[in-house]
Amino acid sequence: KEIAMDIKKSLRIAMAQTGITQKEIAESTGTSQPHISRIKTLGSCNTEFLEKLSAALGMPVSEFIKLGE
């Protein structure tokens, strides 16, 4: 069974719930705001960055992924 993972939706919902901005996520993850914007638009990132992203939003990866289901 394939698991659908909508990172765009997860990120959008997590940011709305937490009030954390793209700039704040970028600073927490050690990347640029345009990189976060790309992830929010394209919906793709590697597993390592997914872990950083979830941590920046204060939630486990599993919870982050569930937001997009």
| Average model confidence (pLDDT) across the chain | 91
Amino acid identity, position 7: I
- Chain-centroid distance, C-alpha 14: 7
Residue 4 has pLDDT above 60, yes or no: no
CB 48 within 8 A of CB 39: no
Provide the Cα torsion 32, 29, 17, 66; round to 10°.
Answer: 110
The count of other CB atoms within 10 Å of the CB of residue 20 is: 15
Q: What integer pLDDT is reported at residue 22 of this predicted model?
A: 96
User: Over the stretch 38-68, which tens digit does the pLDDT of each residue have?
Assistant: 999 988 888 899 999 999 999 999 999 999 9
